[in-house]
Structure 1
Amino acid sequence: MADPIVVVMSEELRARIFTEADWDRLGRAGELSWVSDVSSSASVRTVLADARICVTGWDTPPLPAALFDDSRPGSHHGSHRLELVAHTGGSVRRLVPAVALEHGVRITQASAVLAEAVAEFAVMSIIAGLRDVVPFASAMRDGETWSRLVERPPGRLLRDQVVGIVGASRTGRATLHRLQPFGCRCLVADPFLTEDAAADLGVQRATLEELVERADVVSLHAPVLPETRGMLGRGLIGRLKPGALVVNTARSALVDSAALLEAAAAGRIQVVADVFDDEPLPADSEWRRCVGVVTTPHIAALTVETLHEQGAATVDEVLRFVNGAPLQHEVTRQAYQINA
């Protein structure tokens, strides 16, 4: 009997994630069904009652803990229990409760695919921030005279800046790799980065305090953990160099958002933010109006190519699972706590 595979995501997201070829591959892997109603967790529990594999997206509602309580070894719905959650996105902690792992459910994610796009976006944000691209473009759109525009302070050359990378994660390392051709000096704050690894990366290790005080640009790439939550707090924000640029393509929980916004509004620093405490960002949010801030709607990883790679990587993982092969992107219990 074919393995029941249930895809739970909206029609719009499914069309963006899966090419026709990958959707066909997934269909050949088992008995495929697709649920486009992502309105509630309750409806999800019902449709997953007999599924062995569940494929999810970022619009999938959180999977209820009770679903996994009922799927512990020895307890079955029909002829199968849920054994694999294959997530087409990055973070799964919002989606899959830790109890799933306790009951033997395996989890895989596509975060490895996202690093390239996020790193590219981070470097673009750094250059655009240093050169004041958005303020110049906005002023031109608003009709500011050419003579006034060219009298504005000139931008800064990336080559001559000290760039601080917070977190030598997969995305942090991908960002470092893309920064190297520009010739800028890079500092990295990560307690798990060894001296040998730093040498291999061509960077200098620094404490977060040292990095904040020395860097012209601070780019955040750390996971959200109890130890990292609010790591860039009001005190450290106050120690940033005047005119420093802070780029956050990771998670807003890493920073004291109110303090960061205040520093930008006061003209002390510049900020490029792709992530926020409240998402979607409310229309009346001060983040949208602050002159010292450039905001984007959590799109750092969002490219046509990346979306298709996410779908392909997820199908590959499902096929490995069905065929009894090792998963390449499995979220272990340890990984769930650190970077899920």
Structure 2
Amino acid sequence: MAMTDKDRAARATHALLAAAAPDVATAAEAWLARLAHERRLSQKTLEAYARDLATVLQRLALHLGGRPSLPDLAALTPADVRAVLAARRADGVAPRTLVRLLAAARSFARHLEREGQGKVGALTAVRAPKVPRSLPKPVSVAAARALADPATRAGEDRAPWILTRDAAVIALLYGAGLRISEALSLTAGTVMAGTDQITVTGKGNKTRMVPLIAPVAEAIAAYKVLCPYVLTSEAPLFRGAKGGPLSPRIVQLAVERMRGALGLPDSATPHALRHSFATHLLARGGELRAIQELLGHASLATTQIYTEVDATALMAAYRAAHPRA
């Protein structure tokens, strides 16, 4: 039976509690509960926070010679924190991961201070590693269309309804700019016949309205006709081969197979289709604030990165085409 986000979050929480002394474990449980209820974080995000803090505490235990307690955390020095980060760096961990570990530890430290359980000043005294900024890697319009076309996989030995299902999911990623988790969380009642917009639940359980263009609606309708399972309004829209909720890994594998057949780079992932949605809209005159709303970004600064992608593409075209470039 496939592990759910809730199961994974519970496992990460268990690892976190096992890595800490009893007083820290109790505080960590309260911290996770607060993240869940006050910030309305998803199970997947809670899992990431718990896993990252567990990693920090495990490394601290090795460094200090025992599971850290609240007094141990309050007594930490910047040198202790740097030693933990250096140990993870020696394991080959990327700077982006180190930044994430430090962010989880700082979030927990803020919780401790707010609850009057001590101040971990060493965490704020250590500068986070610099992370090289990488631009999103969208695929071309032609490649995005090919990935969403069931005919691209016509030679595969798979049931037609499965090929149509995967095409419908991919059509949502590119045609509506959804995250894969958002597409797979849709219920059958969300996308009714004649619907031209859908309500999507994104990060932090925030909802937004997303237009449903005709090709995407047609792809979903084609899947509904062929799906062998009863799609009740409250049940998951997209089903696995045995009728359970569709796993994101299945969609990722489908895209991997197609990008090999289409000669696309490894960067052509399901999430790259969301990048493509934003980049292609911007290239055709889409307004940045509207794209932010469609993507569900909390900050406009997150959406602005696509302007850099568009500018990079323009300069590449200029250099390739201009006689004196």
Q: TM-score band, normalised by the shorter chain?
A: under 0.3
TM-score between both structures, scaled by the size of structure 2: 0.26
Instruction: Return the structure number with greater strand share.
Output: 1
TM-score, normalised to structure 1, is 0.26
Q: Which has the higher helix share?
A: 2
Q: Which has the higher contact order (CA 8 A, sep 6+)?
A: 1
